[in-house]
Amino acid sequence: MKKIDILKKLRSSRLRPTKQRVEIAKFLFEREKTFHFTVESLNKLLIKKSNSKIALATIYNTVHAFKASGHLSEVEVRGNKTYFDTNVSNHHHFYDSETSELIDIDANDIVIQKIPKAPNGKKIKNVEVFINLKK
């Protein structure tokens, strides 16, 4: 994904392409593979990469704005921090609690044969599978 696409992505979501948003978006989206991160880890990586310092509140704001626009998804894993995911398609995860590492599983690589029906008055929104790992 090139810079022009980053700008399109921001504009299409009515997010002004500010210096900070462009920098964060380039860091998050100009890569081949899925990227899983916490706000804190993203902050550290951004500091390491570009010696400019973006306020932590801005990183929170931006990540939430990207999530609201559908450019990021949130993944719930055991622990105290919130994880985000550049893969916004329907998919599943391996989770290694020792390293706090998430690994994508393509939706097609898990087939569920039997599933209970939703409780009365409720519908199934989606099904998330976590495969917890050990050594």
Partner DNA sequence: TTTTCACTTTAGAATAATTATAAACTAACT
Partner DNA sequence: AGTTAGTTTATAATTATTCTAAAGTGAAAA
Instruction: Catalog residues that contact DNA under the rule CB under 7 A.
Output: 11, 14-21, 38-40, 53-58, 60-62, 64, 80-82
Q: How far is the CB of 32 from a copy of itself (least distance, A)?
A: 18
Q: Applying CB under 8 A, does 107 fall inside the site for a copy of itself?
A: no
| Residue 87 binding: pick among DNA, Zn ion, a copy of itself, none (C-beta 5-8 Å cut-off by kind) | Zn ion
Around 15, how many Cα atoms within 13 Å sit in the side-chain half-sphere?
A: 25
| Structural element, H or E, at residue 91 | strand 91-96
Residues near 100 by beta carbon (within 8 Å), at least 6 away in sequence: 77, 79
Q: Which is nearer to DNA, 54 or 102 (CB)?
A: 54
Binding of a copy of itself at residue 113 (CB under 8 A)?
A: yes
Round to whole Å and give the CA distance between 72 and 67. 4
Tokens 């804190």 found at:
40
**Which residues 75-94 are close enough to bind a copy of itself by CB under 8 A?**
76-79, 94
85 binds, among DNA, a copy of itself, Zn ion, none (CB under 5 to 8 A by kind): Zn ion
User: CB of 3 within 8 A of CB of 17?
Assistant: no
